[in-house]
């Protein structure tokens, strides 16, 4: 059996996990045709899982599935629509008879100053990130995980947590999802279901191409590591959370961002240091008045 699997696998072995870590698992990755979702699907397959990729564009999903081989299959649908979401979950169950892992990866926003966000745009971002994520989580629990008495849900959110000035609607939406993650972890613990959020920092995916040029040019410099995250790094975390260890992380927000959170820029700030690069220090009071 092992020999046969080795011959039909299109994905090479995991670089960091033992072979067979996720053997027998069925996973659903929303937004699995592109970027972080595609990388997560690849790693889950490398660890032995069967993966269903969901998204709206069939040609994108099909191209990714062709690259990932027989362990990947696709289902089209819009997670904002109840009927589509139900069909997505039903398709996974028809194909695999189980759903062990839901990666709520589909999401996004557009870049614009807070004061320029129209009500309709605010609602669009909420509807996708909060509404879609909630719908998929509830369906996965009701239709698959609660009846099975086990399952893991990973919600992909966003770092930095102190807010992104050009994406305030998304910062608010992801904060809501992180709050829901904590609440769901409590609510579904007795059903054997773990719920974790992964707050992704800035990752090198094709999605960055849509941002304004100055944003793209400077984004890596806003990360203390001075580089963008690589999709396989994110994927390794998803696979880890799909493993037996995932349950112990339930209710957590795991931030994977190269220390981006709460970093305000290089030290010393360019406006603080003098020409020699020295930072001014405050004068000590005379000893008698201390």
Ligand X SMILES: NC(=O)C1=CN([C@@H]2O[C@H](COP(=O)(O)OP(=O)(O)OC[C@H]3O[C@@H](n4cnc5c(N)ncnc54)[C@H](OP(=O)(O)O)[C@@H]3O)[C@@H](O)[C@H]2O)C=CC1
Q: How far is Cα of residue 91 from the mean position of the Cα atoms in its chain? A: 22
Q: Which residues inside 123-162 make contact with ligand TC6, applying CB under 6 A?
A: 124-125, 128
Q: Please give the backbone phi and psi of residue 118, each rounded to the nearest 5 degrees, phi first.
A: -75, 155
What is the C-alpha to C-alpha distance for residues 179 and 193, in angstroms, rounded to an integer?
A: 17
Cα–Cα dist 137/177, whole Å: 11
> Least separation, in Å, of the C-beta of 89 and ligand TC6?
21
**Is 258 an interacting residue with respect to ligand X (CB under 6 A)?**
no
50 binds, among ligand TC6, ligand X, none (CB under 5 to 8 A by kind): none
> Could you say which of ligand TC6, ligand X, none residue 64 binds, taking C-beta under 5 to 8 angstroms by partner kind?
none
Q: Is residue 202 a contact residue for ligand TC6 (CB under 6 A)? A: yes
Helix pair angle (82-96, 133-140), 10° resolution: 40
Task: For ligand TC6, give the closer residue by CB, 37 or 246.
Answer: 37
Looking at residue 229, what DSSP letter applies?
B
Beta strands at 101-104 and 151-158: parallel, antiparallel or unpaired: parallel
CA distance 257 to 164: 14
CB closer to ligand TC6, 50 vs 129:
129
Region near ligand X per CB under 6 A, out of 8-16, 106-114, 115-123, 187-195: 106-114
**Token pair in block for residue 106:** 């589909």
Are the beta carbons of 197 and 177 closer than 8 angstroms? yes
The torsion angle over the Cα atoms of residues 247, 16, 133 and 211, rounded to 10 degrees, is 150
Which span sits near ligand TC6 by CB under 6 A: 113-121, 138-146, 180-188, 249-257? 113-121
**Contacts (CB under 6 A) with ligand X, residues 12-31:** 30-31
CB of 274: closest distance to ligand X in angstroms? 36
- Which residues of this chain interact with ligand TC6, rule CB under 6 A? 108-110, 112, 118, 120-121, 124-125, 128, 202, 207, 211, 215, 219
- Which residues of this chain interact with ligand X, rule CB under 6 A? 30-31, 33-37, 55-57, 60, 78-80, 105-108, 128, 132, 156, 158, 200, 202-203, 205, 207
């Amino acid at each position: 059996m092992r020999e046969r699997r080795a011959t039909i696998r299109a994905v090479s072995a995991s670089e960091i996990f033992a072979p067979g870590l996720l053997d027998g698992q069925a996973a659903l990755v929303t937004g699995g045709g592109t970027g972080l979702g595609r990388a997560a699907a690849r790693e889950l397959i490398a660890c032995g899982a069967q993966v269903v990729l969901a998204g709206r564009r069939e040609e994108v999903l099909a191209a990714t599935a062709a690259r990932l081989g027989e362990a990947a299959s696709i289902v089209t649908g819009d997670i904002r629509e109840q009927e589509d979401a139900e069909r997505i979950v039903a398709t996974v169950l028809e194909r695999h008879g189980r759903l062990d892992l839901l990666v709520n990866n589909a999401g996004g926003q557009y870049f614009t100053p807070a004061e320029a966000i129209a009500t309709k745009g605010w609602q669009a971002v909420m509807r996708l990130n909060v509404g879609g994520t909630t719908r998929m989580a509830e369906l996965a629990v009701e239709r698959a995980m609660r009846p099975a008495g086990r399952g893991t849900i990973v919600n992909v959110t966003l770092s930095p947590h102190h807010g992104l000035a050009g994406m305030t609607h998304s910062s608010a939406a992801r904060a809501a999802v992180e709050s829901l993650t904590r609440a769901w972890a409590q609510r579904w613990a007795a059903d054997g279901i773990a719920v974790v959020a992964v707050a992704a920092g800035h990752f090198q995916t094709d999605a960055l191409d849509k941002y304004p040029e100055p944003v793209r040019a400077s984004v890596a410099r806003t990360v203390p590591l001075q580089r963008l995250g690589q999709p396989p790094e994110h994927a390794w975390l998803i696979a880890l959370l799909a493993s037996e260890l995932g349950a112990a992380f339930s209710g957590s927000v795991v931030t994977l961002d190269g220390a981006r959170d709460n970093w305000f820029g290089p030290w010393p700030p360019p406006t603080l240091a003098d020409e020699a690069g020295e930072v001014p220090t405050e004068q000590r009071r005379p000893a008698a008045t201390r």
